[in-house]
């Protein structure tokens, strides 16, 4: 089974796609079979950052049912034989306002994709699509810039993702609860209030959903002048939301990134000696560790459930 890594942010334009494409290529170079899925349904551009300007098939072909299986829109990327892509397009409003059934069909078909690692660029914002794409992964990555607005949006994003994760764990036990699936919650307490009569184990369900919620933070475009107070952010999140935030890495603000984007190449390919490229490679090594930890945990669970028998 592939390990899924989702990459999101509260605010747009902070560097998600730069991180997603470079991490995907770095993991491919490290020997993993990688699939990058561009689920930024509003403004997909991962294909451009990888030099694939006119992808022959895209996610839109799957969403509009021109092809029936998600695996049929996977294309090779010439930069590396281990790297493949599901290109997004998302010019049409129909795609941006994807209906629930289409989204469900998309999420379900991720199980049929073959790869060691699937990197998902989920796009910016906090709408349900973004939160659900983010939460379908095994390893969560959030990107922010050091500006106060970006950090605030990041806090809001992580908070809403944590609430949605709690709601999702209730829904998996009570799939027919309409109230839960369509309601906007502003805190975990509010979810517990609404579910009080529904499930006597409410507190335990919420606590376990939050305990295992530990997104990794990437601070992009950092400089000596602007830094994020990660310790403070972590404390506030822990106190008011639950869950934890790990600092995975910092990428310096580096003009070489913009130059690489203009060459339609990931920076680790265009300028491997640049400070940003080195930071992105280090970040990918950290992510690889999280992927290994996740697959070891998944194997142990499988062994415990099936006694090591092949399934």
Ligand X SMILES: Nc1ncnc2c1ncn2[C@@H]1O[C@H](COP(=O)(O)OP(=O)(O)OP(=O)(O)O)[C@@H](O)[C@H]1O
Minimum CB–partner distance for residue 236 and Mg ion (Å) = 26
For 177-190, letters b (16+ CB in 10 Å) and e give beebeeeebeebee
Q: DSSP states of 44-86 as a string?
A: --HHHHTT--S-SS-HHHHHTTSSS-GGGGEEE-TT-TTEEEE
Task: Please list, in sequence order, all residues whose beta carbon lies within 8 angstroms of the beta carbon of residue 55, skipping any fewer than 6 positions away.
Answer: 47, 75, 85, 87
Token pair belonging to 38? 């561009």
Q: Using CB under 6 A, which of the segments 24-32, 183-191, 194-202, 257-265 binds ligand X?
A: 257-265
Helix (DSSP H) and strand (DSSP E) numbers for the chain: 14, 8
The DSSP element (H or E) to which 119 belongs, if any, is: strand 117-124
Binding to ligand X by residue 124, rule CB under 6 A? yes
The entry of ligand X, Mg ion, none near residue 129 (CB within 5 to 8 angstroms by kind) is: none
From the list 12-20, 73-81, 87-95, 190-198, the region that binds ligand X by CB under 6 A is 12-20
Sketch the per residue contact string, 146 through 165, with ligand X: x for CB under 6 A, - otherwise. Answer: --------------------
Does residue 217 bind ligand X (CB under 6 A)? no
Q: Which residue has the CB atom at the shortest distance from Mg ion? A: 17
Extract the tokens encoding 223.
Answer: 């400089």
| Among candidate residues 224, 218, 220, the one with its CA nearest the CA of residue 258 | 220
CB of 121 to ligand X, least distance (A): 7
Q: Given the DSSP bridges, would you call strands 216-222 and 246-252 parallel, antiparallel or unpaired?
A: parallel
Nearer to ligand X, 195 or 284 (CB): 284
Residue number, 115 or 283, with CB nearest to ligand X: 283
Q: From the list 3, 5, 15, 74, which residue makes contact with ligand X (rule: CB under 6 A)?
A: 15
Residue 254 binding: pick among Mg ion, ligand X, none (C-beta 5-8 Å cut-off by kind): ligand X
Beta-strand pair 74-76/83-86: antiparallel
251 is an interface residue for ligand X by CB under 6 A: yes
Which residues in 38-67 contact ligand X (CB under 6 A)?
40, 43
Binding interface with ligand X (CB under 6 A): 9, 12-18, 40, 43, 123-124, 220-221, 251, 253-254, 257-258, 261, 276
């Amino acid at each position: 089974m592939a390990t899924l890594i989702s990459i999101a942010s509260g605010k747009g334009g902070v560097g998600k796609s730069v991180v997603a494409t470079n991490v995907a290529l770095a993991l491919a170079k490290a020997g993993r079979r990688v699939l990058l899925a561009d689920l930024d349904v509003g403004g997909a551009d991962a294909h451009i950052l990888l030099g694939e300007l006119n992808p022959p098939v895209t996610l839109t072909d799957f969403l509009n049912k021109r092809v029936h299986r998600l695996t049929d829109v996977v294309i090779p990327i010439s930069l590396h034989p281990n790297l493949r892509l599901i290109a997004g397009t998302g010019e049409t409003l129909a795609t941006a306002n994807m209906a629930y059934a289409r989204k469900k069909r998309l999420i379900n078909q991720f199980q049929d994709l073959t790869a060691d690692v699937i990197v998902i660029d989920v796009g910016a914002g906090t709408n349900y699509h973004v939160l659900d794409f983010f939460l379908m992964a095994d390893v969560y990555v959030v990107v922010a810039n050091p500006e106060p607005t970006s950090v605030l949006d990041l806090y809001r994003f992580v908070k809403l993702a944590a609430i949605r994760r709690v709601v999702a764990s209730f829904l998996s036990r009570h799939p027919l609860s309409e109230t839960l699936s369509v309601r906007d919650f502003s805190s975990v307490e509010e979810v517990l209030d609404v579910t009080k009569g529904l499930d006597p184990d409410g507190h335990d369900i919420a606590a376990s959903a939050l305990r295992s919620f530990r997104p990794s933070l990437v601070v992009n475009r950092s400089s000596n002048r602007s830094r994020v107070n990660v310790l403070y952010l972590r404390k506030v999140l822990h106190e008011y939301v639950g869950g934890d935030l790990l600092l995975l890495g910092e990428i310096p603000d580096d003009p070489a990134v913009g130059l690489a984007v203009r060459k339609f190449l990931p920076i680790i390919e265009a300028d491997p000696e640049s400070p940003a490229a080195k930071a992105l490679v280090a970040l990918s090594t950290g992510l690889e560790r999280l992927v290994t930890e996740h697959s070891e945990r998944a194997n142990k669970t499988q062994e415990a459930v099936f006694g090591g028998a092949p399934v």
